[in-house]
Amino acid sequence: MLEKSLSDQFDQTFNMYQLWKPSERTAGWPDRGIQLHNSVMIWVELKMTTLRIDNKILVNNFEKEQAAFMFKWQRSAGFCFLLVGVLDRKRNIDCYGIIRPVFYNGWLKVRQTLYTKLDLLFYTGEFDKILLWFRSVYIRQDKYIRSYIRDAQ
């Protein structure tokens, strides 16, 4: 599976949301933006990697410019995550995982960090469960933000 296949799968699964796909982007721009209500934007970087012999994951194709974008976005209280498709040694999909550092400076360490599946924020063998994770994290939060704005008016 190539990153293009992961992108297509992401677009099909998240098609109920307004997706932004930066074109002619400069280095660092994430692959997708998901726009929620009140202009809340969640940036997503999509990467493929291979499960190593020691059953660890290295996302060394996550470029420094991409890490810098995510760092700046999260530092400014923005939402973002890295969606990783993990291939086994036979090049079949092993799992999908989410990387989202707790602290914004964690983005600068993603590229050289060896992860086990348990180190990932979330992992699953089924892509549809990525959507369920997303909804449990961001849609619940979006509903809270909207009710807070409504109550403040």
| 115 CB neighbour count, 10 Å cutoff | 18
CATH of the domain at 69: 3.40.1350.10
39: left (phi over 0), alpha (psi -120 to 50) or beta: left
Q: Which residues of the chain have a pLDDT value below 70?
A: 1, 25, 140-153
Report how far residue 32's alpha carbon sits from residue 4's, in angstroms, rounded to the nearest whole number: 12
Domains of the chain: total: 1
Bridge partners of 86? 49, 95
Bridge partners of 110? none
Closest to 5 (Cα-Cα) out of 47, 40, 39, 44: 47
> In the prediction, which pLDDT does 104 show?
97
Predicted TM-score (pTM) of the model is 0.88
Q: How do residues 53-62 score in pLDDT, each as one tens digit?
A: 999 999 999 9
> In the prediction, which pLDDT does 4 show?
87
Containing 18, the helix (H) or strand (E) segment is strand 18-20
Q: How do residues 21-53 score in pLDDT, each as one tens digit?
A: 988 767 789 999 999 977 889 999 999 999 999
| Domain of 127, in residue numbers | 3-152
Report how far residue 46's alpha carbon sits from residue 51's, in angstroms, rounded to the nearest whole number: 16
Coil/strand/helix, residue 42: strand
Closest to 100 (Cα-Cα) out of 84, 121, 116: 121
Tokens of 35: 């726009």
